[in-house]
A and B are shown apart, each in its own frame.
Chain A
Amino acid sequence: MIVQSGSNRLGIILFLTPVILLFAVYFVYPLGFVFVTSTLDWNGVSTPEFIGLRNFIDNFQNHTFQKSIRNNFIWLFALGFGQITLAAGVAMILARRPRGWRFLRTAYFLPNVISQVAIAMMWKALYNAEYGALNQFLEIIGLSGWTHNWLGEIGTALPAVLIQQVFYIGYFMIIILASTMSIPESFYEAAQIDGANVFQQERYITLPMLVPILVTSTTLAMAYGLRHFEATFLLTDGGPANSTSVMGIQLYKMLKSIDYGHANATGATLVILGIIVIVVIRSTFGRAVNAGEAEQ
């Protein structure tokens, strides 16, 4: 047991105070503001009127809001499972240091240092129905029947936005790659001596060792999915016919309508859903993490 002297305690308080203050000012206070105003009928200038959960009820009765929640969960699973699976797969391949792996590592990470706006504009041009490269390519290879207004058709808009985001695996790939490369070579050498092939080595050595980082990455990716906004806003603005809308888009539109009560009820819903998702992920994968840590 560590016994802290009075001077130590003062030091701890002094060091922690700035962080706690910043946390309070930039997190606790705005969060309190969001929750308080989510119960008000308030447009920013009118006299606020307390209306309880009315804003939440209105939101959940709205078809577009319901669609937005559904889309948020599609994003959550697409990023949490699709993106992480891809990132882990690429990381495991690159960890075996194939020819040009350093170049590939940089190439995969490059989009993460480019502005999301620039990337979205590029994809918007790529997907354009009239002059987009995707349709032109399909026409060149004789598949003109497959061309679409990718961002303007209900059946293709959401997949089109999802795909352009899911393939940007660089961030998670780097995290998982770092973890993969820290696995001692001797484990693989021993497995090779025992006659394990590459797939067996990945299945029985790499994957179990990666479980904690995979769970953390999945949690982060799902959180990104839940709060997703930028790509959809820039590519479709939630359209067509609200088919790609997410809660972030709804919140933004409510703010533009200076409807702060409903907007902050949406924000509060996002916070609550985020907490629920994180708790569910941690409790679902908790045992796997513990098992993975035990194996290490």
Chain B
Amino acid sequence: MKRLLVVLTLVIFLAVPVAQVFASGAGEASTGEVVLTFPTFWVGQDSKSGPIASLVEKFNNENAGEIRVLIEPNPDTDGYRDKLNAQLASGRAPDIFVFNPDPTSFQYYDSDILMDFTDELAGAWGDDFVRSYIDESTIGGRTKTVPYEIGITPIWYNMNLLNQVGYSEPPATWDDFMAMADALKAAGVVPTSQMTGGSNAWTSMLWYSHIIGSLGGPNVWDKPLTDPVYVEAAEYLLQLYTDGNTTRDAVGGDAGVSGGHFLAGDTAAFINGPWYIGRIRGDAPAIHAATRLAAAPQVGDYSGHQIGFLLSNLAAANTSDPRKRAAVITFMKFMTDPENVTSVSKAAGSLFAIKYELGGDIDPLQQEFVRAASDSTFAIGHFQSQYPVAVVQEFGQALGAMALGEATPEEFVEMLIAANR
């Protein structure tokens, strides 16, 4: 009898997880005021925290008694995404959330967990958006997230440091860039900020993307990882890690190290997006005033391009409740309203996938971003946007191995290929 009880208990505890894995979600209904939870990392020190909070407050006032959106603060971006993944995997998506538009997250399109905005975006609402961003957010004909924040990541130059070594313009070609690097080193300045750490080796990953774009052109991401362009780009990237072209702590360094050196005036070149404007303006006003943006130096046949990508989409939990669905769509339309987007863009420095006019009264560095975007010959996404998280995570490790002489550029790419299997 005792043995039977033990066996039954074990069977029950093993059966429950199996049932949960294979189970599907159920519908729900709402009455009265619709309350939508909105967990987000646009809080705390994030440059969009204030503008987004103001927008949500405005929305709640305009829809008092009908819809109320509650922001759930989650200031740690990585933690937010981990938590979100766990929620999505357990079939319990938040009402509204910030979706990371990368190949790994797009796997959730295969499920019914995300609300589908295809029909709404095909109508007048879709006209508010830059069409290509809707296309990027559409898979298999379905648009299950709303394109929102975008980024371009030109090269940031500290012109004070460049002027010191006789450069009044950012270098146009790779040879010019390396000559400038030599001049800077002779003057005791480290040419570039780099990093292999963090979840994606962000700064160096962007350099790699720029170099690949210059070598392979607008359709370079159509090429598989086995294409020689990836090895050739790695050879150029390696140059930035050798001969003192970056700081000594670049291998293992994270975004704080990479950005910190530029903010401190230690390095002359850096890469990041417009969301960093608020940070540099607040923490290093002198560097902010001296910063000029430019396209990456030409390496191959192509030049003048930018790395442009969807940074964050808005998403919502699928629901069978028509009132809740209507409330979500009302909120999404409000968030992407050109007037509201303009106010966030001006306050935070961020750029958006919506058609809007910034006007002239904006931060000079943001004007530089707008100019860099409009001057670009073409735009491609970055490496991270093209490959699953496993490959992106391996990028920093493989780069570290290459920078330390433990791997050749060929082996660097082989490590990426192995992670892609």
Contacts and interface: CB of A to CB of B under 8 A. Distances in A.
Interface of A: 24, 28-29, 32-33, 35-37, 40, 42-46, 48, 64, 128-130, 149, 151-154, 157, 236-242, 253-260
Given A33-B17, A130-B247, 17 more contacts: A24-B9, A32-B17, A36-B14, A37-B21, A45-B88, A45-B89, A45-B110, A45-B113, A48-B21, A128-B257, A153-B404, A157-B252, A239-B196, A239-B197, A241-B401, A242-B397, A257-B389
Contacts of B389: 253, 256-258
Contacts of A43: 89, 107
Contacts of A236: 197, 252
A253 B199 CA distance: 9
Contacts of B88: 44-45
Contacts of A238: 397
Max chain A C-beta neighbours (<10 A), residue from B13, B247, B257: B13
A152 B400 contact: yes
Contacts of B266: 130
Interface string B393-412: 10011101101101100000
Interface in B177-192: none
A223 B238 CA distance: 40
B199 A240 contact: no
Contacts of B9: 24
Contacts of A151: 252
Interface string B240-277: 00000001111111000100010000100000000000
Nearest to A259: B390
Contact of A255 (B82, B90, B113): B82
Contacts of A42: 21
B406 A154 contact: yes
B251 A153 contact: yes
Contacts of A237: 197-199, 396
A40 B401 CA distance: 32
Interface in B1-48: 9, 13-14, 16-18, 20-22
Nearest to A135: B248
28 contacts: A24-B9, A32-B14, A32-B17, A37-B17, A42-B21, A43-B89, A43-B107, A44-B85, A44-B89, A45-B88, A45-B111, A46-B107, A48-B22, A129-B248, A129-B249, A153-B404, A237-B396, A238-B397, A239-B396, A239-B397, A240-B397, A240-B400, A241-B401, A241-B404, A256-B82, A256-B199, A257-B104, A258-B104
Interface string B83-116: 0011011100000000000001001101101000
Contacts of B250: 152
A140 to B, nearest CB: 17
B249 A130 contact: yes
Given A29-B13, A45-B110, A258-B89, A240 B252 contact: yes
Given A44-B88, A152-B252, A257-B104, A29 B390 contact: no
Q: Interface residues of A: mostly helix, strand, loop or mixed? A: loop
B1 to A, nearest CB: 15
Given A240-B196, A260-B89, A152 B16 contact: no
B249 A36 contact: no
A129 B396 CA distance: 18
B218 interface: no
B343 to A, nearest CB: 33
B201 to A, nearest CB: 9
Given A24-B13, A36-B17, A260-B89, A240 B251 contact: yes
Nearest to A64: B397
Nearest to A40: B21
A260 B404 CA distance: 32
Interface centre among A44, A46, A157 (most CB of B within 10 A): A44
Contacts of B110: 45-46
Contacts of A256: 81-82, 85, 104, 199, 389, 393
A37 B20 CA distance: 11
B252 A239 contact: yes
Choose among A239, A242, A254 the residue with the greatest number of B CB atoms under 10 Å from its CB.
Answer: A239
B388 interface: yes
B107 A258 contact: yes
B298 to A, nearest CB: 30
Interface in B350-395: 388-390, 393
Contacts of A32: 13-14, 16-17
A236 B404 CA distance: 15
A257 B396 CA distance: 15
Interface string B204-221: 000000000000000000
Contacts of B390: 253-254, 257, 259
Nearest to A130: B249
A253 B257 CA distance: 22
B160 to A, nearest CB: 20
Contacts of A24: 9, 13
8 pairs of A and B residues whose beta carbons are closest in the complex: A44-B89, A152-B252, A240-B400, A241-B401, A45-B111, A33-B17, A152-B251, A129-B248
Contacts of A239: 196-197, 251-252, 396-397, 400
